[in-house]
Amino acid sequence: MASSLACLPFFLLLLPCLLLAQNTGNIEVGDSITAVDNGAQPWLSPSGDFAFGFRQLEKRELYLLAIWYNKIPDKTIVWYANGDNPAPARSKLELTADRGLVLTSPQGTEIWKSDVNLGDAENGFMNDTGNLILSNSASEILWQSFDHPTDTLLPGQTLKRLSPGQTLESGGQMLSSRLTETNFSRGRFQFRLIPDGNAVLNTNNLPTGFAYEAYFWSNTVDSNTSNAGLRVVFDDSGYLYVLRASGKRELLTTGTVASAAENYHRVTLNFDGVLVQYTRPRNSTGNGGNWSIIRSMPDNICTDLVGQKGTGPCGFNGICQLSRDRRPTCSCPQRFSLLDPNDDYGGCRPDFYAQFCEDVSNSPKDFDFLELENTDWPTSDYEMYTPYNIEECQKACSEDCFCNVIVFKEGTCWKKKLPLSNGRLDEKVNGKAFIKIRKDDSTRRETPSGPLPFPYEKKNKDNLALVVSVLLGGSVLVNLVLSFYSFFFSHNKSKRIPQGTERGAESNLRCFSYKELFIATDGFKEVVGRGSFGIVYKGLLEMGTKVPVAVKKLDKIFEEGEKEFRTEVKVIGQTHHKNLVQLVGFCAEGQHRLLVYEFLSNGTLANFLFKEAKLGWSQRTQIAFGIARGLAYLHEECSSQIIHCDIKPQNILLDDHYDAKIADFGLAKLLLLDQSQTFTAARGTKGYVAPEWFRNMPVTVKADVYSFGVLLLEIICGRKCVDTEVSAERAILTDWAYDCYQDGIISALVENDEEAVNDMKKLERFVKVAIWCIQEDPTLRPTIKMAILMLEDFVQVAAPPCPCPFTSVVG
pLDDT digits (tens, 9 = 90+) for 163-190: 887 877 777 899 999 999 989 999 999 9
pLDDT digits (tens, 9 = 90+) for 345-404: 989 988 877 776 766 556 777 888 999 999 999 988 999 999 999 999 999 999 898 899
Q: What pLDDT is attached to residue 672?
A: 38
If you write DSSP's letter for every residue of 485-530 in order, what string do you get?
HHHHHHTT--------SSB-TTSS-EE--HHHHHHHTTTTT-EEEE
Give the model's confidence band at 692: pLDDT under 50 very low, under 70 low, under 90 confident, else very high: confident
Give bridge partners of residue 596 from the DSSP assignment.
551, 585
pLDDT digits (tens, 9 = 90+) for 407-446: 999 999 999 988 899 999 998 898 999 999 887 644 444 3
Pairing of strands 510-511, 583-589: parallel
> Which positions make up the binding site?
553
Give the model's confidence band at 11: pLDDT under 50 very low, under 70 low, under 90 confident, else very high: very low
Q: Cα–Cα distances in Å, from 656 out to 281, 501, 706?
A: 56, 34, 28
The angle, 0 to 180 degrees and rounded to 10, between the axes of the packed helices 702-717 and 617-632 is 170
Domains detected in the chain: 25-148 (2.90.10.10), 152-295 (2.90.10.10), 319-443 (3.50.4.10), 510-598 (3.30.200.20), 606-797 (1.10.510.10)
Contacts of 626 (CB under 8 A, 6+ apart): 578, 579, 659, 660, 661
pLDDT digits (tens, 9 = 90+) for 96-112: 988 889 999 888 889 99
pLDDT digits (tens, 9 = 90+) for 640-666: 778 888 899 988 999 888 889 998 876
Q: Identify whether the C-beta of residue 422 lies closer than 8 Å to the C-beta of residue 378.
A: yes
Average pLDDT over residues 300-312: 85
Tell me the C-alpha distance between 92 and 81, whole Å. Answer: 13
Tell me the C-alpha distance between 748 and 757, whole Å. Answer: 9
% of the chain at pLDDT higher than 90: 42
Tell me the C-alpha distance between 268 and 317, whole Å. Answer: 27
Contacts of 803 (CB under 8 A, 6+ apart): 734, 738, 771, 774, 775, 776
Residue type, 450: G
Q: Is the pLDDT of residue 671 over 70?
A: no
Contacts of 323 (CB under 8 A, 6+ apart): 329
Q: Is the pLDDT of residue 483 over 50?
A: no
Mean pLDDT of the chain: 81
Q: In degrees to the nearest 10, what's the CA dihedral of 277, 282, 284, 287?
A: 20
**Element (DSSP H or E) covering residue 50:** strand 50-56
Contacts of 611 (CB under 8 A, 6+ apart): none
Q: What pLDDT is attached to residue 187?
A: 92
Q: Is the pLDDT of residue 42 over 50?
A: yes
Q: What pLDDT is attached to residue 178?
A: 94
Q: Identify whether the C-beta of residue 593 lies closer than 8 Å to the C-beta of residue 554.
A: yes
Q: Cα–Cα distances in Å, from 234 out to 131, 141, 250, 265?
A: 14, 20, 12, 10
Q: Model's pTM, two decimal places?
A: 0.56
Tell me the C-alpha distance between 111 and 105, whole Å. Answer: 7
Pairing of strands 32-34, 26-28: unpaired
Residue 158 CA neighbour count, 13 Å, CB half: 11
208 vs 567, more confident: 208
Q: Identify whether the C-beta of residue 296 lies closer than 8 Å to the C-beta of residue 255.
A: no
If you write DSSP's letter for every residue of 457-486 in order, what string do you get?
E-TTS--HHHHHHHIIIIIHHHHHHHHHHH
> Which positions make up the binding site for ATP?
553
Helix, strand, coil proportions of the chain in percent (round to 5)? 25, 30, 45
> Using CB atoms within 10 A of its CB, is residue 771 exposed (0-12), middle (13-18) or buried (19+)?
buried
506 vs 371, more confident: 371
480 vs 116, more confident: 116
675 vs 430, more confident: 430
Tell me the C-alpha distance between 66 and 272, whole Å. Answer: 21
Average pLDDT over residues 473-486: 38
Which DSSP letter does residue 122 get?
-
Residue type, 152: T
86-90, 317-321, 502-506, 756-760: segment of lowest average pLDDT: 502-506
Q: Identify whether the C-beta of residue 680 lies closer than 8 Å to the C-beta of residue 686.
A: yes
Tell me the C-alpha distance between 801 and 799, whole Å. Answer: 7
Q: Cα–Cα distances in Å, from 530 out to 527, 672, 676?
A: 8, 17, 12
CA nearest to 410, candidates 394, 386, 376: 386
Phi, psi of 14 (to 5 degrees): -80, -15
If you write DSSP's letter for every residue of 621-666 in order, what string do you get?
HHHHHHHHHHHHIIIIISSS----S--SGGGEEE-TT--EEE-STT
191-195, 365-369, 566-570, 801-805: segment of lowest average pLDDT: 566-570
pLDDT digits (tens, 9 = 90+) for 248-295: 999 999 888 888 889 999 999 999 999 999 999 988 654 456 899 999
Contacts of 389 (CB under 8 A, 6+ apart): 411
Residue type, 127: N
CA nearest to 94, candidates 144, 43, 20: 43
Q: Identify whether the C-beta of residue 260 lies closer than 8 Å to the C-beta of residue 236.
A: yes
Tell me the C-alpha distance between 510 and 492, whole Å. Answer: 23
39-48, 98-107, 677-686: segment of lowest average pLDDT: 677-686
Q: Identify whether the C-beta of residue 71 lies closer than 8 Å to the C-beta of residue 282.
A: yes
Q: Is the pLDDT of residue 592 over 50?
A: yes
Residue 59 CA neighbour count, 13 Å, CB half: 18
If you write DSSP's letter for every residue of 715-745 in order, what string do you get?
HHHTS-SB-TTS-HHHHBHHHHHHHHHHTT-
Give the model's confidence band at 7: pLDDT under 50 very low, under 70 low, under 90 confident, else very high: very low
Q: What pLDDT is attached to residue 444?
A: 41
Written in H, E and C, the secondary structure of 543-612 is: ECEEEEEEEEEECCCCCCCHHHHHHHHHHHHCCCCCCECCEEEEEEECCEEEEEEECCCCCECHHHHCCC
Which DSSP letter does residue 615 get?
-
Contacts of 657 (CB under 8 A, 6+ apart): none
Kindly list the strands in the beta sheet with 510-511, ordered across the sheet, starting from the edge strand earlier in the chain: 510-511, 583-589, 592-598, 545-554, 534-543, 527-531
Q: Is the pLDDT of residue 497 over 50?
A: no
Which DSSP letter does residue 451 get?
-
Q: Cα–Cα distances in Å, from 799 out to 708, 710, 716, 742, 757?
A: 19, 18, 18, 10, 20
CA nearest to 718, candidates 604, 615, 602: 615
Q: Is the pLDDT of residue 447 over 50?
A: no
Length of the chain: 811
Question: What are the residue numbers of the active site?
Answer: 646
Give the model's confidence band at 805: pLDDT under 50 very low, under 70 low, under 90 confident, else very high: low
> Cα angle at 367 between 365 and 371, to 5 degrees?
130
Query: Collapsing DSSP states into helix, strand and coil, what is residue 809?
Result: coil
